[in-house]
């Protein structure tokens, strides 16, 4: 039996790399790093690596590719591509694939979690009851925003945006959609309270919850700034589980301080990890999480198996799913 590939898990040894080890086919090898910033480990391991399993948003640079003459495939554990240079991969003759398994459902769950946690003051209510000994049963009712009867504006309507639409429709929301492409939304949405917005301005002005579900591209960096935020309703909630670079963070801070939107739920930031003194973290109407929207055990197991299955197809010379480069 011929030897299998040597995989480098582009992250620290831990629970997620263990999921890969448990499922590694016979004859394959898997290495991992001390931590995501373990440059010494990367440069030591890369010369003997056939496949990089790329996790998180830790960049894969030209220096890394130059150090990896055997590298044939970079396989993202997720779907984001802003931490890999596709031109450099092409120049080095390295293929790139993404993993869509589980992402849409988990991110949709987290989107709903953040929308409700921010809109219904979950953190503040917990702190008042558990830490301050108060019982604010009535104080927040007039300013709480739920999803039943709300209009949810989705910027982006790919796999994740559509999964969010299904979730909020089940909770009694109406859905307003903005996409880069024109045309019908598709037969699944016919006869349901889902419609396309005439533009971003209409979506931001007409939604109780605005949620971002689009990739970060050069043309949409900083897309959400003061102009769009000023259009939001006073009681509205802004949610971002996509990429921090889509938002002008200073403008979002100013808008939240002014109460429009009334609250925000954020899983992503321009710089990650976010600085402890970032002004968004000090606002009482903001709920934050550490870019973990896709991060459930169930999803991680699905992703590990899907990545290994796809690497197996690549290694056997069979068609590869979700190939980008």
Closest CA to 122 of 285, 292, 240, 283: 285
Using CA atoms in the order 205, 211, 216, 217, what is the torsion angle rounded to 10 degrees? -30
Closest CA to 273 of 299, 244, 312: 244
Residue 34, token pair as written in the block: 């001390």
Quick count: other Cβ atoms within 10 Å of Cβ 189? 19
145: left (phi over 0), alpha (psi -120 to 50) or beta: beta
User: Which backbone phi and psi does 266 adopt, to 5 degrees?
Assistant: -125, 130
DSSP code, position 5:
P
- Asked whether 17 and 304 are in contact (CB, 8 A), the reply is no
Give CA–CA dist 242/255, Å, rounded.
20
**CB-based contacts of 277: which residues, under 8 Å, 6+ apart?**
none
Closest CA to 285 of 238, 244, 240: 238
Q: For 257-294, give the DSSP string.
A: HHTSSSEEEES--SSSSPPTT-GGGG-TTEEE--S-TT
Would you please indicate which residues are annotated as catalytic (active-site) residues? 243, 272, 291
> How many residues in the chain?
325
- Asked whether 91 and 67 are in contact (CB, 8 A), the reply is no
* Strand 73-76 relative to strand 151-155, pairing: unpaired
């Amino acid at each position: 039996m011929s030897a299998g590939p040597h995989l480098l898990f582009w992250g620290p040894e831990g629970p997620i790399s263990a999921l890969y080890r448990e499922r590694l086919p016979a004859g394959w090898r898997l290495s991992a790093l001390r931590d995501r910033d373990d440059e010494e480990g990367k440069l030591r391991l890369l010369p003997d690596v056939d496949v990089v399993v790329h996790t998180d948003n830790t960049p894969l640079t030209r220096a890394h590719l130059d150090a990896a003459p055997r590298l044939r495939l970079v396989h993202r554990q997720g779907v984001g591509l802003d931490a890999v240079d596709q031109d450099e991969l092409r120049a080095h003759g390295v293929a790139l694939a993404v993993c869509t398994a589980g992402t849409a459902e988990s991110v949709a769950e987290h989107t709903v979690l953040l929308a409700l946690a921010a809109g219904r003051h979950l953190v503040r209510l917990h702190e008042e009851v558990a830490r301050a000994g108060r019982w604010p049963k009535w104080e927040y009712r007039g300013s709480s925003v739920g999803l039943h009867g709300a209009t949810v504006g989705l910027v982006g309507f790919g796999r994740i945006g559509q999964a969010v639409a299904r979730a909020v429709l089940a909770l009694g929301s109406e859905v307003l959609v903005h996409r880069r492409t024109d045309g019908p939304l598709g037969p699944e949405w016919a006869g349901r309270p889902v419609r396309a917005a005439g533009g971003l301005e209409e979506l931001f002005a007409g939604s109780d919850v605005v949620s971002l579900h689009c990739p970060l591209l050069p043309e949409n960096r900083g897309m959400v700034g003061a102009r769009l935020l000023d259009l939001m309703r006073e009681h509205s909630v802004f949610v971002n589980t996509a990429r921090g670079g889509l938002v002008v963070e200073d403008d979002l801070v100013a808008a939240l301080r002014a109460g429009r939107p009334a609250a925000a739920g954020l899983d992503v930031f321009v710089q990650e990890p976010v600085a402890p003194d970032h002004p968004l973290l000090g606002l009482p109407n903001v709920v934050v999480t550490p870019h973990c929207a896709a991060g459930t055990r169930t999803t991680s197991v699905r992703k590990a198996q899907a990545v290994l299955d796809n690497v197996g197809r690549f290694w056997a010379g069979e068609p590869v799913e979700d190939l980008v480069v």
